[in-house]
Structure 1
Amino acid sequence: MWDVEGKKTRMSVTVFVLTFFSTTQLICGSPPDIQDLNFTVSVDENTETLTTIETFSVSDPDGDSVSCNLAGGGTLFNLYSASATSYAINVLSNSAGFNYDFTASYALSVNCTDINGESTSASIQVDINPDQAPTITHPPSAVKVSENTVALTSLYNLTVTDPEDDPMYCNLTNVNPSSNSFAMWIATSSVYRFYLLGSQRLDYSTVPLYTLRFACSDSWGTSTSTLIVEITPNMYPVFSNLPGTATFSASSTGVGTSIFNVTATDVDSSTLTYSIEASNPSSSIFQINSVTGVVTNTQHLKYVLNSVYYLTIKVTDGKGSTNGTLTIILTNVNTAPTIQNLDNSISVLETTASGSAIYTLVIVEPNAYDTVTTSYSITPADKSSLFSFDPTTLKLSVNGTLDYETQSSFTIKFTVTDGKASSGPYTLTITIKDENEACFFDRTKYFTSTYEASAGMGSMDPGFIVSDHDNGDTYTLSIQYSASVFSNYFKIDSASGIITFAVDYNVDQGAYPSSGNLNVICTDTGNAMGTATVSVSIYDTNDNAPEFPQIAYVLYPSQYLNPSDVILYLAATDKDSGDNAKITYTWTAQMGGSTYYQLSATGRVYIARDLSDLSYGQTYQFVVQAIDHGSPALTGTTTIDIIYRQSITTTTTPNTTTVTTTTTTKAPTFLDYPANIAMVVLMCLMALALLSFLAYYLYKYCKKPGGCKIKSWKTPMNKSVSPTKPNPTKTSFDFWNETSDSNFKSKPFSGKRNSNETKIPMPAPVL
């Protein structure tokens, strides 16, 4: 019944049984014969694939052909036909492996049948032999090892075999107590060795016995065993000839002499090492050969100071050591010189003069024939030059300038020697005593300057830098006042050093000096003083304007003057000095006239062109300025009135007698000057005296012959008259050379023109 598309379907099958009948002739024969077959076979667990475990042969009495097969054992075995009558039973596959623990034997059956159907059977039992672990041959129960045993020493050789010759290996599995001092290495294919490593040293006093557990394994099993390692204690070396004594003459025993040969023995070590552990008294003049034990001296014994030395000699085998004493007795020993008056301390003033002796050593040398040499060192070393020592007089002296503030103490160490032995160092401590030292300036002379000013002003800072070697000392500054008046004009701030005027200082016209020197003093708290010079320069301040001698000028040039003739020299003054007193002149024409008259920068008023174009009485006024060269420039002012007047000269020559009559231009009177009129007004109190003087002057003048004779003529004031110019020789005019008289035709205002004329003098210019 099937379930087809969810429907139940029944199918009926009719089975037909057919019976065939045949007629067979029965023949009788013999079965095959199995020969040489062992009924029990042993096989090792590790038998390899295709290994033959049994062979047998088969025959048939009837001569029929025979075939055999193997039953049982699963897929582990197969039957191999070597020939028609010979068979072998092989291990077909051991991939799963025989395992004695699960199956100890297998039952196999061999069946052989001839062609007539006759058969013979035989049974075989295959026993599985279990695999065996490696065999450790006679492991030792214990070995003894000295605690002196060195690294990589072989402790024991172990023989290990494997019954099946399987690959195997052995190793240490445990060391008790735990230690890294042991190892197990293979020597040959079947020999393993135990070694002592160098990572740890054996110590009987700490661990006297170790238990080494080890295992040897192949792929089928493991064998274990134990090795006991007993540590034997080290036996210390023993001296053969110590304690011992050696005697030598110090004066004749040279360096490298064999003093003593130390010997020792050790029962468990042939390698011994010698050394000198100590010397009493302490000394390095003896040494010992570490291998041979020979003691020698490192220097000639004439240099030693002690007659007996006790040397502690040590011998060691690397594990333990033994000490012994060697006594060295010296005769004829040298005695070192000594300084009897040290160690000591002294005090020295910082003002002690260089070259002064401050200490004398007392040296004792027992051996009169020895020469003593003294050496010394000074601390601090960089100040060592401050002292000197005379080896002949044994005197220590100051060799420079001591300074308490820089270094307040010194230590000098002395050592004395006679060439063979030395003593020291001996110490001399020197303490420097402080004394008050004067303050001092960083320079001996300073320079400063300022401009003239009133008292308390004119601040000057020379930049004083004042020092004092005395720590914490202070100072004040002052000016050293003396007979020199210059120093009295100034005062100084005692703290800052700023210098100011003590008076209203003015250098104009030499009222006060423009330079001088001041002696400045610093005074410290101990009244010690230092001095310095200050060079002071005072510059003029442009505080004075130029001044003219007159507030106004009136000039009367005549027709006789030529271009370039100077009619006035202006001479303004300035109370300042230097550039501030230099003056430049300039003017401004109030009513023209610059064409005819000019003013040079140096104050020359001169004729610029011929005056004949002017009318007599023609007047020009100029405002003159005198400007100094200061900054800012200051100006002084005056006025100049220039009035052109006629000067007349008449000459008459009769036939019989030559008579010369000179007519002069009327001289200006005192009141013709506007400036004098102003002065009369201002000086009214002097009027009577002035009038008396004028009366007296007129009286004296009229007493002269012809003095009061006045000729008059009528000449129109505005009529142009061409003057007669006798000998009108002209010279060239050099404008720039003001001081050369050769540039002028004649000196103005000299009253002289030609030899045949007389001129009433004109008022002289105010210079």
Structure 2
Amino acid sequence: MRDVERKKNQLYLVVCILTFLSTSRLVCGSPPVIHDLLLTVSVDENTETLTTIETFSVSDPDGDSVSCNLAGGLALFNLNSASAPSYAIKVLSNSAGFNYDSTPSYTLSVTCTDTNGESMSASLQTNQAPTITDPPSAVQISENTVALTSLYTLTVTDPENDAMYCNLTHVNPDSTSFAMWIAVSTDYSFYLLAGQNLDYGTIPMYTLRFACSDSWGTSTSTLIVEITPNKYPVFSNLPGTATRSASTTIIGTSIFTVTATDLDNSALTYSIEASDPSTSIFQINSVTGVVTNTQHLKYVLVSVYYLTIKVTDGKDSTNGTLTISLTNVNTAPTIQNLDSSISVLETTASGSAIYTLDIVDPNAGDNVTTSYSVSPADKSSLFSFDSTTYKLSLSSTLDYETQSSFTIKFTVTDGKASSGPYTLTITVIDENEACSFDRSTYFTSAYEASSGLGPMDPAFIVSDPDNGDTYTLSIQASASGSSDYFKIDSSSGIITFAVDYDVDLGAYPSNATLIVICTDHGLAKGTATVSVSIYDANDNAPNFAQTGYIIYSSQYTAPGDVIGTMNATDIDSGDNDKITYTWTAQTGGSTYYQLTANGRISVVKDLSDLSYGQSYRFLVQAVDHGNPALTGTTTVDIIYREATTTTTTATTTTTKAPTFFDYPANIAMVVLMCLMGLALLLLLAYCLFKYCKTPGDCNMNCCKTPTKRSVAPTKPNTKKTPFDFWNETNDTNFKSKPFSGKPYTSETSIPMPSPAQ
């Protein structure tokens, strides 16, 4: 046997809860009753065979015969009925051995049935959890408790003397104010922890749930903790009354001693909660309850004071009333005609009296003095007060826009008592003042644009001394000749064009001066000058005078010679009218001629390999320097021709007027027409030949040999006239302009812009 582990290896025998078995027939009577069956038993895993582990007896209220049987236990247990109605539960066989590790418990069901089929079942358990001696239904603790306090000591036992432990499992409502631990030996105690703020009004009761456990099971129970409310302190001598002479009661005199009791024996604290009328001339000692005065009572003005005294035990408080009656009380001087209000024009002259005080003191012989304060304080210098005549006067003129109202508070005193402050409210009456600009001159600019566009914001800042006054903006029409060209938004001050503004060719000025007027609701006005600069917009492309130009070069033109200058015009101004020239060769020629950025056309290569009449066409672009840049275009035809005379000046290149055959297209056309004519002649000859070879009705044979005729020869012209292809006298085609039918009367001079120097 393993004695050390025997307790650890004990087996549970768990028997089911009492259950009435259902029957298939209705029987009148009572079921058997099982007596003295323990709920739990312990079985050591080394228990010997036929050891009795439990006995019980059975009776039947109806006297019926009863038989019992045992179920469960894997045939390890036996129900011995030899001594019925007493029965014994024994270990039948332990040959296989109990093993706690593999089977820690067994469930045995004992069922007893009488002859009527009525039955009763019972169960038992191998071991028991700790036993908790039921705590009282409730324990009480005062809500004033703040120290560590034991609430209840719990008695817990274990039938098997197993090791056990207890712990607090839950507090309802949830709280951390309670704890549970071993007080002495195995006794567990419940505690209220120190420093807890119990409040009967909020939570009057807590339920503490706890559990005690051994290695076999757990038992639970509850403890109710009732919070008892605090007991209010009670005054012993309030309401109460104290009487003193105001003229002789010096500062710090004990006027009354308040006393109170508390059933909880809590420390008491006294205080003055209120005074009617309100005053701070009385105080109370918070511990002793002694009421004293904080100043000589000759300064007071009231004969009766009602003090509300509060006493508290730290949790609850009680209020009581102390009445203090004073005799020989002084009467303070007063101002009879305040509080009041007056209105003063902001143009009222400095030194003017605006108000006179009416001061009364019932106590004859008192010396009355007056003090005053002005709000706002930084405006105090605007007023003065005569302490003899009691007149308030202006020391300076007022300004409604700076300060529209003042509050002056007066206090009068006879040296013992004072009254006030009394209030005089002064309202300043406004007079309209003109609006004004923050600057005398503004500057703004825009690009030329259409009417309604070109917004310009001079960033006007307009102020008006009259608080809350509004104003409108306008342009003075007669200020300048440019006034009609602009308009202004009366609220924002944004200036736009009133016309389609264009500075090109001087249509409108590039600079304008405007007078802008602000007008307030009272028609007072202020003015400012606005200098407007209008910049040219690049709205015009460069323009050539002709859609095409013809320039000639000749056998006399050498590389580097300037043969023409392009000259486009742009009516814009500034960078917008600066022009750069480029060209694109459309029919070649870029190896012979070039165009510079400033418009000069010059020869870059010897022209001797060209044929007379050969021409090249270029597309010329004139691009201005605006943003975005605009472009004008034209064409230039450069014709290489034989020159008889060439006159070149600084400004003009003059050549003979072009003839029909100066144009390559005309030459090509003539060649094509000649080829077509030759083809027609050949066709006609062929037709005649065919006709002559075939005799017809006319009996004409064109192929006959003609009759010889003698013709006298003429004398040939031996004088040869040299043929000049380019001489107009050799061809009647040159007697008129190509395709016009109009003869030339003289050579035509084509003016060209002078080359840039």
State which structure, 1 or 2, has the greater radius of gyration over its C-alpha atoms. 1
Q: TM-score range by the shorter chain?
A: 0.3 to 0.5
TM-score when scaled to structure 2? 0.42
TM-score when scaled to structure 1? 0.41
